[in-house]
Amino acid sequence: MPEPPAFASQYVSMPHRDHSAELGMWVFIATEILLFGGLILAYFVYKHAFPQAFAEGSRHTDILIGTINTAVLLTSSFLVAWAVEIFSPATVKIVTWLLVGAACLGLAFIALKGIEYRKEYHEHLIPGVDFQFAGPLANGVQLFFVFYFIATAIHAVHMLIGICLLLTLAIISRRAPTTRHHTALHSAALYWHFVDIVWIFLFALIYLPGRAAS
């Protein structure tokens, strides 16, 4: 009985399969750029309309947690990039631990974000739930936190998806690593790096403006 081909019938070769997978991920990332780009554009529009209120809202975010989370994500990106670089049957155990480590750092990011959300809940900074802010800037500050919660919640969902991808690839690659798994890992790494880059933009927009002006 002949062995099944290493690639599906719509591909002419394994490189064609791998390039198609990478192109598909880039197309997906392009659609995600439109999503986050729209949010960031809205942020700049309303920040221009309420500059003082947005600066005041920024000062009420937790810069320590934001900074730690930025370091956590940058470290996780390094681990994923390392895993892609050394991927081979001989290094499968190291690759597995690198992916598990990156996923654990992702979970640490989510946990810290949850702590930050809890802190903001107790400070009555959640619009539509229990927002309380005294002074003439209250409406603008509330608008800042609308953007803050929408943008960071959408980012957190993307983080959870990325964590599931990394853990799945860690399990699959450990059992029988192949070039197909390397291609899948490369595509997942592109996604993970994109999510990290989005956070860097959000960190700069959310945590820094009010403090930079003070």
Asked if residue 47 has pLDDT above 70, the reply is yes
Q: Which residues contact 62 (CB under 8 A, 6 or more apart)?
A: 116, 119
- Please provide the distance, in angstroms rounded to a whole number, between the alpha carbons at the two ends of the chain: 74
Question: CA–CA distance from 211 to each of 72, 181, 194 (Å)?
Answer: 22, 45, 26
For residue range 48-66, what is the model confidence (pLDDT) as tens digits?
Answer: 999 999 999 999 999 999 9
Is residue 154 classed exposed, middle or buried when 0-12, 13-18 and 19+ CB atoms within 10 A define those classes?
A: middle
CA distance 211 to 28: 35
Q: Which residues contact 74 (CB under 8 A, 6 or more apart)?
A: 196
Q: Is the pTM of this model over 0.85?
A: yes
Q: Which residues contact 150 (CB under 8 A, 6 or more apart)?
A: 39
**Identity of residue 102:** A
Average pLDDT over the chain, rounded to whole?
Answer: 86
